[in-house]
A and B are shown apart, each in its own frame.
Chain A
């Protein structure tokens, strides 16, 4: 069964204090791994897609990396506006359905 876990469940950082969020996955045939940001009361907002181990992508203070078993979302010098829930999702190769599996998310709070 395809599974996605994320850690920590919640993270509180001071402004400027860099850290990393972890996404571990078990899937038979990875089609893609996705990172999303979700603010309270809103739908998720797309951040990155990673397709193969060793791939890295950056956007402003965020950098996503991928290995064969996990992905990291590195946040450099975060600001209060980076506070949100960060969701990781995988898409598995199957013959039927789209097979997107989302993790439970990491709630990030950045304090000024």
Chain B
């Protein structure tokens, strides 16, 4: 299994500002993902962070709002840009060691709890 850490664990931000969330894994992994979990709801996949190329965004999410970096196989960042209260959520990073089409396991980080005032 992989050990995943996220920074910050929580933050309170003002409307219109941006926040960058970091995800660090203790081993090299092929696939890294970013999810959002809004209060009382389930997880929604935002994008796949690809090492050395642009992230692949799911329907409804765009790079301008959620720019993602992945400079190497153990680290990624997600930025939430021009925040509004609707962006208040828990943001989770996950990794999958396998690059096969069906991912047997995803390991999730502890999440970053974001509140936008």
Residues of A that sit less than 8 Å from B by CB: 31-32, 34, 41-46, 49, 51, 87, 89, 91, 96-100, 102-105
Which residues of the partner chain A approach B57 to less than 8 Å between Cβ atoms?
Answer: 97
Which of chain B's residues has its CB closest to A97's CB?
B58
A99 x B110 contact (CB < 8 A): no
Chain B residues close to A by CB (< 8 Å): 4, 33, 41-45, 48, 56-59, 92, 94, 101-111
- B58 & A44 in contact (Cβ 8 Å cutoff): no
**In-complex Cβ contact of B58 among A34, A87, A89, A98 (8 A):** A98
Within the complex, the shortest CB–CB distance from A41 to chain B, in Å, comes to 8
Please state if A43 and B58 are interface contacts (CB–CB under 8 Å).
no
> In the complex, are the beta carbons of B103 and A42 less than 8 A apart?
no
Q: State the CA gap A108–B80 with chains docked (Å).
A: 32
- Min distance, Cβ B33 to any Cβ of chain A, angstroms: 7
10 contacts between A and B (CB under 8 A): A32-B102, A43-B4, A44-B108, A49-B105, A97-B45, A97-B48, A97-B56, A100-B33, A102-B43, A104-B41
- The answer to whether A45 and B108 have CB atoms under 8 Å apart is yes
Q: Which of A46, A99, A105 contacts B106 (CB 8 A)?
A: A46
Q: Which of A41, A46, A98 lies in contact with B56, CB distance below 8 A? A: A98
Residues on A with beta carbons closer than 8 Å to the beta carbon of B59: 97
Inter-chain contact A43/B94, CB cutoff 8 Å: yes
Determine whether the beta carbon of B94 is less than 8 Å from that of A102: no
Tell me which of A89, A100, A105 has the highest count of chain B C-beta atoms within 10 A of its own C-beta: A100
- Chain B residue numbers with a CB within 8 Å of A42 are 110-111
